[in-house]
Amino acid sequence: MTVLLRRLRAMIAADGPLSVAHYMAACLFDPRDGYYVANPGLGADFTTAPEISQMFGELLGLWAVQSWLDMASPDPCALIELGPGRGVLMADAWRAARSVAPGFALAAFPVLVEASPQLASAQNARLAPLSVRPRWVNRLEEAWRGPMMLLANEFLDCLPIRQFVRTPLGWHERLVGLDGPDGLGFVLAPEPLRDDALIPPALFDAPHGVVAEVRPSLEGLVDHLALRLLAHPGRALLIDYGPANAESGDTLQAVQAGQKLSPFAAPGLSDLSARVDFSAIRRLARACGLTVAGPIGQGHWLEALGIAARMQGLASANPQRADALAQEYARLTDAAQMGALFQVICLSSPGLPAPAGF
Ligand SMILES: C[S@@+](CC[C@H](N)C(=O)[O-])C[C@H]1O[C@@H](n2cnc3c(N)ncnc32)[C@H](O)[C@@H]1O
């Protein structure tokens, strides 16, 4: 039994079942035993696009430069990243951006929004050789306000979700309760919701037994992005795994050492995430008055930005890496790998040209 499991069981025994959102937040960010605080296993438990290939971060860096040019080169401006992991994406993006546009590197400064002290120190180590001085904040609300390009890869999938199940009596919240002498499992709240406003409208008439997921913090995040993007020119590029159109079902998943396992098997020692509903982002952003491009599949987007040419350029310079580069390219772009599972969406200040790649 993990330390966190023992504590969560004691908490549930005393106060009753937890919402899935509360459980996810504890598993990921409990200040003592949360996965990202105590055991961030990025690279060991799972691998993200920037960790697969330098081409990913480089193309995002070039995309940021093009966005900066589209905004008439504001100085100063922030290159903000939400959830930078081990800092690989920002390091590759900054290196590529600086090499094509030295003026960008003079005008822009990186801001890293990171809640994990351990990962913030890994980011510091990764970025130090680039002689760039990033600023760190715990929450986006604390970051410098002004013109910005914001990047977020596999950040939204970690934001806690709530789950609801349709029964003949209505929608009941799915909660995390005790299961046997040393486990945890799903239970249903005894009373149905009084108000269905939380349920995505497309699922109102879903059959009994269907699970609906909602991510309560998404609305606050999009509202906050709108506050910034309506006050200053900017763009937010969000990349994650999930459907382009709302769907039902339980998508909460735990991963450890590259294997999926029950979300209750190793709380605090496995990563927890759930698919991102891109149609909700599009709807919320449009309602705030932002211009939205996408979502489109990551494969198409990277192809439109020129990943094939970048691969060929790198392979000509390093022929011994040609096969490895071809494999990286395939992992990022193939529809059967990350190319279609991952979606890209861009929220922009009104009045800017269409963003590159869409
Ligand atoms: C799955 S990792 C992705 C890392 C990186 N973007 C990449 O592509 O390699 C999630 C990152 O988001 C951070 N994170 C998750 N939720 C957060 C929150 N609410 N506030 C700040 N950082 C958060 C984690 O600590 C971690 O750095």
DSSP line for 190-249: SSPPS-GGGS-GGGTTPPTT-EEEE-HHHHHHHHHHHHHHHHS-EEEEEEEES-SS---S
Is the minimum distance from the CB of 153 to ligand 1 under 6 angstroms? yes
What CATH class is the domain 49-159+215-242+277-348? alpha beta
* Ligand 1 atom closest to Cα of residue 36: 25
CA distance 234 to 199: 31
CB of 17 within 8 A of CB of 177? yes
β-pairing, 148-153 vs 183-188, is: unpaired
Instruction: For the chain, give the longest Cα–Cα distance.
Output: 65
Q: Pick from 155, 253, 256, 344 the residue to mutate for probing ligand 1's pocket: most ligand atoms within 8 Å of its CB.
A: 155
Query: In 3D, which of 226, 73, 218 has the Cα closest to residue 157?
Result: 218
Whose alpha carbon is nearest atom 24 of ligand 1? 83
Count other Cβ atoms within 10 Å, centred on residue 31. Answer: 9
146 alpha carbon – ligand 1 mean position (Å)? 23
160 alpha carbon – ligand 1 mean position (Å)? 12
The pLDDT value recorded for residue 50 is: 98
In this prediction, the residues of the chain whose per-residue pLDDT falls under 50 are none
The pLDDT value recorded for residue 63 is: 98
Count other Cβ atoms within 10 Å, centred on residue 64. Answer: 26
CA distance 265 to 262: 5
The residue type found at 226 is A
Is the minimum distance from the CB of 51 to ligand 1 under 6 angstroms? yes
The pLDDT value recorded for residue 2 is: 84
106 alpha carbon – ligand 1 mean position (Å)? 27
The pLDDT value recorded for residue 39 is: 85
219 alpha carbon – ligand 1 mean position (Å)? 18
Number of H helices, E strands in the chain: 14, 15
Which three-class secondary structure state does DSSP give residue 253?
Answer: strand
Q: Pick from 22, 114, 255 the residue to mutate for probing ligand 1's pocket: most ligand atoms within 8 Å of its CB.
A: 114
Burial of residue 176 (CB within 10 Å: 0-12, 13-18, 19+) is buried
318 alpha carbon – ligand 1 mean position (Å)? 32
Kindly list the domain boundaries of the chain, sorted by start residue.
49-159+215-242+277-348
The pLDDT value recorded for residue 204 is: 86
The pLDDT value recorded for residue 246 is: 78
313 alpha carbon – ligand 1 mean position (Å)? 31
Burial of residue 73 (CB within 10 Å: 0-12, 13-18, 19+) is middle
Whose alpha carbon is nearest atom 16 of ligand 1? 158
Query: In 3D, which of 51, 49, 26 has the Cα closest to residue 37?
Result: 26
CB of 272 within 8 A of CB of 24? yes
Is the minimum distance from the CB of 85 to ligand 1 under 6 angstroms? yes
CA distance 252 to 248: 12
238 alpha carbon – ligand 1 mean position (Å)? 13
Whose alpha carbon is nearest atom 1 of ligand 1? 154
Q: Pick from 45, 54, 59, 158 the residue to mutate for probing ligand 1's pocket: most ligand atoms within 8 Å of its CB.
A: 158
114 alpha carbon – ligand 1 mean position (Å)? 7
Angle (nearest 5°) at CA 256 between 255 and 261: 55
